[in-house]
Amino acid sequence: MKVVRVTVTPIAFRDPPLLNASGIHEPYALRSIIEVESDNGYVGLGESYGDAPALAIQQQLQQELIGLDPFKLNILRETVARVVARVTPASAAGAELAPGSHASKALSNAYSAFEVAFLDLQARSLNRPLVDMLGGALRTEVPFSAYLFFKYAEHIDSPYPPDAWGEAISEEQIVAQAKSMIDRYGFKSIKLKAGALEPEHEVSCVKALKRAFPQHQLRIDPNGNWSLATSLRMAKLLDGCLEYYEDPTPGLEGMSELHRQTGLPLATNMVVTDFDEFRRSVALNSVQIVLADHHYWGGLRDTQTLAAMCATFGLGVSMHSNSHLGISLMAMTHVAASVPNLSYACDTHYPWQEEDEEVIKGGKLPIVDGCVRITEAPGLGVELDHEQLGKLHEQFLSCGIRARNDVRQMQRYRPDWETVKPRY
């Protein structure tokens, strides 16, 4: 089997005005959709970052992958490394709010984007589900969490009508958001994206959630926007109501000190984003749970390696997300189904995406009892809807956004808004 065609299509889909430590989501989120076709007529799918730097590399790779054998993933990695070295200037290491957009992750991002499509192609050619290329499923239902955000009712100068979720700033509105999400999808755990408003208010929202959903596991994620002193103060106020405390304070040292003083389980997708940071985190005992994300951890197989390393060092594994569609959701679900020690419900932004903006046939995938199912269907188990792909590509061309910038978007609401980390 040989690759005969690779197509990378950038798309944009509507994204609500969700608040975070950097600012606010722009009206459209960017992704790329990858199709890899083989000489025997199969097409493997991938979904990845659609920001300009990531896209430039993916587009360079389109021609370079022609002729490769989809089973030879080591050759794929070498090929990607060669192209990345050619097109990316060496850049400083370090994680950002959207770690996938950081230039130091160029190789692992680009490799991951195509690895998923190659694995999908392998699986389709063998008429097996993709998870069988990863050693097979340990579970067929993968739990996800209700990912809550503070949000405005609508975007400034919105190019489209307001979403159905409405404003969520007060305790009551956050509890109502959780209720709608849980009623609709049956989630059993709740994550609140924090670092956006006053910490005391964010913590009182967690406590209101605890009162409203006493049986649910709770997490809060301020994205490193709280100083160590604030994180310690909030830990006292939170008073043991968390399943884990995600990235309250920046840096491996800060997280290490926070854990030393509180004993709370700390989780991260910010201070451990590659294997070098993993090693340093273990030395400092900075975090107890690592959030995997195949999009920047170097694909589905490296995610399994990460999980094995977590097992070796006695760390837990959870999963991070960014705004995404169904191809990513299924890739996340297949790898999660194969990881023995993924004992936490995974994050997903999927409920925030609109019904009419999916790129796969049949529309949005179901989430039932908080879980996404994998079936025996070949590959990822989803097919591309080319009409929808064309529509979302047109939206990419017309929306004017070429790289995610939550800071710049917030400056449209508040011209004095600056990047200050930690803000509180």
Ligand X SMILES: O=C([O-])C(=O)C[C@H](O)[C@@H](O)C(=O)[O-]
Cβ nearer to Mg ion, comparing 269 with 395: 269
Binding mask 203-222 for ligand X (x = CB under 6 A): ------------------x-
Rounded to whole angstroms, what are the CA distances from 59 to 6, 148, 159, 256, 405?
A: 9, 34, 28, 40, 22
Q: Is 76 exposed, middle or buried (0-12, 13-18, 19+ CB in 10 A)?
A: buried
Could you tell me if 244 and 288 are in contact, meaning their C-beta atoms sit under 8 angstroms apart?
Answer: yes
Q: Which stretch binds ligand X (CB under 6 A): 52-60, 103-111, 279-287, 315-323?
A: 315-323
Given 193, 216, 295, 334, which residue is catalytic?
193
Q: Work out which of 6, 12, 18, 238 binds ligand X, going by CB under 6 A.
A: 18
Binding mask 107-136 for ligand X (x = CB under 6 A): ------------------------------
Q: Is 364 a catalytic residue?
A: no
What number of CA atoms fall less than 13 Å from residue 359's CA on the CB side? Answer: 31
**Interface with Mg ion, residue 221, by CB under 5 A:** yes
Residues 223-282 that bind Mg ion (CB under 5 A): 246, 269
Parallel, antiparallel, or unpaired: how do β-strands 146-149 and 189-193 relate? parallel
Cβ nearer to Mg ion, comparing 65 with 272: 272
**Interface with ligand X, residue 320, by CB under 6 A:** yes
Question: What is the rounded CA–CA span in Å between residue 364 and residue 350?
Answer: 9
Q: To the nearest whole angstrom, how small is the minimum distance from the Cβ of residue 344 to ligand X?
A: 12
What number of CA atoms fall less than 13 Å from residue 200's CA on the CB side? Answer: 0
**Interface with ligand X, residue 249, by CB under 6 A:** no
Question: What is the rounded CA–CA span in Å between residue 374 and residue 123?
Answer: 14
Q: Which does 202 bind (CB under 5 to 8 A by kind): Mg ion, ligand X, none?
A: none
Q: To the nearest whole angstrom, how small is the minimum distance from the Cβ of residue 151 to ligand X?
A: 10
Q: Bridge partners of 317?
A: 290
Q: Work out which of 38, 288, 318, 322 binds ligand X, going by CB under 6 A.
A: 322
**Interface with ligand X, residue 269, by CB under 6 A:** yes
Q: Which does 322 bind (CB under 5 to 8 A by kind): ligand X, Mg ion, none?
A: ligand X
Contacts of the segment 80-87: beta carbons below 8 A, 24+ positions apart = 80/107, 80/110, 80/111, 80/114, 81/107, 81/111, 83/57, 83/110, 84/57, 84/110, 86/60, 87/56, 87/57, 87/60
Q: Is 193 a catalytic residue?
A: yes
Question: What is the rounded CA–CA span in Å between residue 312 and residue 247?
Answer: 22
Residue type (1 letter), 300: L
Q: Bridge partners of 368?
A: 371
Cβ nearer to ligand X, comparing 132 with 247: 247
Q: Which stretch binds ligand X (CB under 6 A): 50-58, 70-78, 162-170, 317-325?
A: 317-325
**Interface with ligand X, residue 273, by CB under 6 A:** no
Could you tell me if 54 and 108 are in contact, meaning their C-beta atoms sit under 8 angstroms apart?
Answer: no
Task: Note the residues at the interface with ligand X (CB under 6 A).
Answer: 18, 20, 97-98, 193, 221, 223, 269, 320-323, 347
Q: Which amino acids are annotated catalytic?
A: 193, 320
Task: Note the residues at the interface with Mg ion (CB under 5 A).
Answer: 221, 246, 269
